[in-house]
Amino acid sequence: MAPRKRRRDPPPLARDAGPPEAVTRAWLVVPLLLYAAASLAFLAHSEHARHDFPLDDAWIHQVYARAFAHGHGFAYNDGGPQEAGATSPLWAIANAPVQGLAAVFGPGAVPWGAKLLGLALGGIAIVALFVISAAALQSGWAAAAAASLLAVEPRLIFSALSGMETVLLLALWLGAVAAVLRRRAWWALALFGLSPLARPEAFALLALALPAWALLDRPRHRAPGRAAPAAALALLAGPTLAWSIFCHAVNGGWLPNTYYLKAHAFSLSASSVVTLWRLVIQHGWLGTAAGAAGMLALVGWISAGRQRERVWLAATLGLAPGAYLLGVVGSRALRLDGYYWTRWVDPPLLVWVAASALGLAALAAWGLAQLRAAATPQARWRPLAALITPLLLLLISTPRLANSFGERRERLASDGRAIRKINVEPGQWIAAHVPPEAVVGVNDAGALRYFGQRRTLDLGGLNYSPLATQHATLSAAAEQLDWLAVFPAHYAATGLLEAFDPVKWFSIPLAEYTICECPTQTVVGVARRRDVARSPDRRTTVSP
């Protein structure tokens, strides 16, 4: 009987040779210290950076996190039906433990918990980029250099402290790439599979998991019997399928409510492409000479090697973010004047920051290696130029980056102050003055529900499926309301306000409302239905 041929394993996605692991890990302290210092600079700038969120949407996530923590699933109202209002269900679930802080210290502790969670995820993204760079460049110092550029990126720090899901998707994205390069196939499949639950647009990333699937053929990764393909498919597609089925059961569609209210048929125009370009260069490294040079250097590094892992990195860190951005800009109306819009594009832009940082580190690592190997002085000028160029570009780009850093730090504080004045304080007033059995209609549906703790109808439909997908009318929803807490200017022409008497006003000067250029959102009016006093089960003694 002829001896059985031993099957050859497919080539690894990264070389096994490299610096000792302990030496490489020692370099990781550099980017993490820079990240800690940059984050502290943001937090120390203002109490609103510490205690407030720059978007009311962050409080919507906390509404669902509280429901999930109390065992109510994705119920927007206590004891109410499930809702498909959580565009990022994974972020709501991740914040459920944060609600323990509210139980001990009160609702004011929730921003601290969410910000610490965001900072931890930002740190994970930095570590993942370090692992990616170490595997790709085989250099601890080069990996530290790449991770350090991401660590001081103001767009990253703002996102980590925003209470939003941006940094969660970034950590999953870069973590999955690092897992593939380290040949951790099951981890890679799990992280890619969870990505669409951080942002639905990340569904396109599932195709990037094919190299992880290929790694399952290696003996060290294979599960017993025929279980591996089924388990891999469950990890990769199971979370998205489960969430889609949930959405369909709740709202009759396969996506969260926001897609039926805010998205439009895909179309690209010259103006939308210009808007996208301006979003790319608006903040941080990508708007500097170093950022652009890093992307070019990455293209050169990939072209010079042409190994399979380099081609895959090009697709994962370069092409996939571009496709993600085109998908967002082609299906949504975007503006440049607030985080409400830019947070939709921040995850792929931060991946591009990581790609640019990897490119600069690759150029410097190549220059140093060639300089050491040069036999003659004449052979040293090119690698010396490759080593010095990234340093010069970073030096030239530092003033612009510092300005961007200061602008993002100031904006986090001013946006947080505006949300406190217009959303949090009205919610606290409702909790203190509105009867517990009252039904409140809102159009900003986060802090008013979280702090108000009354049955709340989102008149925008994002957290009220009948208005989002089931063709209910605003007038039909209004019939259920006892109170309103809305921007009056939004409903001046609808007739909704005619049945309500104003009770309390909350306002902020237009110059201090930095969330967006939205003059109609600087006043919130709390009003009571005129005939509510005649209802025996909804009496109130509140006076203006």
pLDDT digits (tens, 9 = 90+) for 319-373: 999 999 999 998 888 888 889 989 999 999 999 999 999 999 999 998 888 888 7
Residue 431 sits in the same domain as residue 315:
no
| H or E element, residue 504 | strand 500-507
CA-CA distance, 356 to 394, in Å (whole number)? Answer: 12
230 and 195 both lie in a single domain: yes
Q: Are 310 and 317 in contact (CB under 8 A)?
A: no
Q: What angle do CA 514, 148, 317 make, to 5 degrees?
A: 80
Identify which of 336, 370, 408, 375 has the alpha carbon closest to the alpha carbon of residue 156: 408
Question: What is the reported pLDDT for 6?
Answer: 44
Confidence of residue 112 (pLDDT cuts 50, 70, 90): very high
Report the distance separating Cα 512 and Cα 218, nearest Å.
Answer: 59
Give exposure, 303-335, as e/b (b: 16+ Cβ within 10 Å): eeeeeebbebbbbbbbebbeebbbebbbbbebe
- pLDDT at residue 403 tops 90: yes
Cβ contacts of residue 250 below 8 Å, gap of 6+? Answer: 74, 81, 82, 83, 84, 465
Q: Is the pLDDT of residue 182 over 70?
A: yes
Structural domain that includes position 159: 21-414
58 and 181 housed in the same domain: yes
Length of the chain: 544
pLDDT of amino acid 536: 44
What whole-number percentage of the chain has pLDDT above 70?
91
Query: Please, which pLDDT band fits residue 75 given cuts at 50, 70 and 90?
Result: very high
Choose one of 397, 414, 431: the last residue of a domain.
Answer: 414
13 within a domain of the structure (yes/no): no
- Which of 368, 389, 414 lies at the terminal end of a domain, its last residue? 414
Co-location of 264 and 365 in the same domain: yes
Which among 441, 462, 453 is positioned nearest to 527, based on CA atoms? 441
For residues 447 and 356, membership in a common domain is answered with: no
Q: Between these two residues, 108 and 115, which has the higher pLDDT value?
A: 115
Q: Are 503 and 527 in contact (CB under 8 A)?
A: yes
**Quick one: average pLDDT of 90-112?**
92
The domain boundary residue, chosen from 371, 394, 414: 414
Provide the pLDDT for residue 10: 38
What pLDDT band is residue 377 in, cutting at 50, 70 and 90? confident
Q: Which of 13-17, 36-40, 411-415, 474-478 has the lowest mean pLDDT?
A: 13-17
Average pLDDT over residues 23-37: 91
The model's pLDDT over 432-443, given as tens digits with 9 standing for 90+, comes to 999 999 999 999
Would you place residue 19 in the very low, low, confident or very high pLDDT band (cuts 50, 70, 90)? low
- Residue 16 falls inside a structural domain: no
The answer to whether residues 147 and 129 touch, using CB atoms and an 8 Å cutoff, is yes
Instruction: Give the CA angle between residues 153, 414, 150 to the nearest 5°.
Output: 5
For residue 382, the model assigns a pLDDT of 82
Averaged pLDDT for residues 272-291:
92
Q: Are residues 311 and 407 in the same domain?
A: yes
Instruction: Determine the Cα–Cα distance for residues 283 and 349; give it in Å rounded to an integer.
Output: 10
Does the pLDDT value for residue 8 go beyond 70?
no
134 and 192 in a single domain? The answer is yes
Contact, 155 vs 284, CB < 8 A?
Answer: yes
**Residue 540, in any domain of the structure:** no
Instruction: Indicate whether 440 and 499 sit together in one domain.
Output: yes
* Rounded Cα distance, 125 and 508, in Å: 36
Q: Is the pLDDT of residue 117 over 90?
A: yes
Averaged pLDDT score across all residues of the chain: 89
Residue 440: both structure tokens together:
């409140």
* Residue 27 falls inside a structural domain: yes
Distance from the Cα of residue 355 to its chain's centroid = 18
Reported as a pLDDT band with limits 50, 70 and 90, residue 30 is very high
Q: Is residue 15 part of a domain?
A: no
Q: pLDDT digits over 499-537, tens only? A: 999 999 999 999 999 999 999 999 999 999 987 554 544
Contact 484, 497 (CB under 8 A): yes
Sign of CA dihedral 138, 141, 142, 144: positive
Question: Would residue 403 count as lying in a domain?
Answer: yes
- Answer for the pair 30, 144: CB distance below 8 angstroms, yes or no: yes
Return the pLDDT at 1: 46
pTM above 0.85, yes or no: yes
In this structure, the answer to whether residues 402 and 496 fall within a common structural domain is no
Based on the fold, state whether residues 304 and 429 are members of the same structural domain: no
Confidence at residue 384, expressed as pLDDT on a 0 to 100 scale: 85
Identify the pLDDT of residue 335: 87
pLDDT band at 88; cut points 50, 70, 90: very high
Task: Tell me how far apart the alpha carbons of residues 195 and 455 are, in angstroms, rounded to a whole number.
Answer: 32
Q: Which two tokens stand for residue 299?
A: 């293209």
Domain count, the chain: 2
Residues 6+ apart with CB under 8 A from 226: none
pLDDT at 17: 43
Task: Tell whether 103 is covered by a domain.
Answer: yes
- Return the pLDDT at 306: 65
Angle at 124 between CA 120 and CA 125, to 5 degrees: 120
396 and 441 share one domain: no
Residue 486, sorted as left (phi over 0), alpha (psi -120 to 50) or beta, turns out to be beta
276 and 325 in contact (C-beta within 8 Å)? yes
Average pLDDT of span 30-37: 98
Mean pLDDT check: name the lowest of 50-59, 161-170, 180-189, 350-359: 180-189
pLDDT of residue 411: 97
Same domain, 371 and 486: no
What pLDDT, on a 0 to 100 scale, did the predictor assign at position 227? Answer: 60
Residue 35: pLDDT band (50, 70, 90) is very high
Residue 3 lies in a domain: no
